[in-house]
A = this chain, B = another copy of it.
Amino acid sequence: MNWYKTNLEISTHGKGLQDITSIVRAQLRDWGAREGMCFLFLQHTSASLVLSENWDPTARADLETFMERLVPEQDSWYTHDLEGPDDATSHIRSMLTDTNLTIPVDDGDLSLGTWQGIYIFEHRSRPHHRRVLMRVLSME
């Protein structure tokens, strides 16, 4: 059994879904882990880790639009606005999605579905540096 770990540093471009699948895949191949589990953990409460459709960009656009409509920044009832109108909304959007993912590894690769990609969903308007802890437990 083997244990691999690194902390991925990702620069986001501000609000929206950003594909990090290739970064995670490359790290896994670099380690040469063949079979086991991959654990991803985002160390933030104003962004998310999401598995989403990776083929048609309109799917992602709709996810982003939905979040803007479900948790709108224009709402006047938020009390947590020290850092701006995207402050409370970011934490709410993070709570409604995921911040940790647990993905099987088979044959040296992530066992994602054909159309599944791993995304950071940045909820803050401005670009941020985000840290994703990546851990792999392999059975070899």
Which A residues are closer than 8 A to B by beta carbons?
A: 1, 3, 5, 35-37, 39, 41-46, 50-53, 56, 58-59, 61-63, 65-66, 69-71, 77-80, 82, 87-88, 91-92, 94-104, 106, 111-116, 131, 133, 135, 137, 139
The listed residue (B45, B56, B69, B112) touching A53 by CB distance below 8 A is B45
A46-B53, A53-B91, A61-B80 are known contacts; what are 8 more A-B pairs with Cβ within 8 Å? A5-B106, A37-B39, A45-B52, A58-B80, A63-B95, A95-B97, A100-B101, A111-B133
Distance, CA A79 to CA B51, complexed state (A): 19
Residues of chain B within 8 A (CB-CB) of A82 are 56
